[in-house]
Structure 1
Amino acid sequence: MAKHELETGTVHETDTLTLEDQGCNLIVWNDEVNTFEWVIETLVEVCGHTHEQAEQCSLFIHFKGKYGVKQGSYDELKPMCDAITERGIGATVEELA
């Protein structure tokens, strides 16, 4: 939290979001091996998506070749990426442009 002093002399705390906090995207890649249900189940269990969110993501992955399923810090996303790849699904963590 950053503190900012106003002209009145009072101090207010505000949240400061840096690039490092939300600067990455968890990308899941399409393949010809994994089923929609497996990808959906993985996104629900690993990323905390609802079934509907995971279903939509899986459609984007299928039709676009890849999709950013979650944004956050590298430290937050790296364990999720590892868990996804351990299930045989291609995933990477990339910096947001």
Structure 2
Amino acid sequence: MSVKEEVLEEVDVEEKLTDSYEIIVYNDEVNTFDHVIETLIKTCDHDSIQAEQCTLLIHYKGKCAVKSGGFDDLKPRCTEILKAGISAEIV
């Protein structure tokens, strides 16, 4: 096994041990900026500036990690985002 493979294997193990996930929100042509901002404030506990910055990243980059943490914390938040009609997933 090469050194590069060993390092990659160690990183994979560390990532699994941290139990850290992210909610990724994707851009669409349906939802307004205000709707996404309001949803992020409500579901992810963002302040208005953070929600606006994430919304701009979603619009211009196509996606943005809007919240990180444990799966049990993110699951209901992601469900609420999806219920609001916004494309999102936990990774």
Please give the TM-score of this superposition, normalised by the length of structure 1.
0.75
Does 1:72 find its partner at 2:77?
Answer: no
Q: Which runs of 5+ in 1 are unaligned?
A: 1-17
- Alpha-carbon distance in structure 2 between the residues aligned to 1:72 and 1:58: 20
Q: Which runs of 4+ in 1 moved over 4 A?
A: none
2:42 maps to which residue? Answer: 45
Q: Deviations over 1:44-96 (max 9, x none)?
A: 011110000000000000011110001101111010000000010001000xx
Aligned length, in residue pairs: 75
The Cα offsets for residues 32-51 of structure 1, whole Å up to 9 and x where unpaired, read as 00000000000001111000
Structure 1 vs Structure 2: percent identity of aligned residues? Answer: 52
Larger radius of gyration: 1
Q: Which runs of 5+ in 2 are unaligned?
A: 1-16
> Larger helix proportion, structure 1 or 2?
2
1:83 to 62, 73, 80: 80
TM-score for the superposition, normalised by structure 2: 0.80
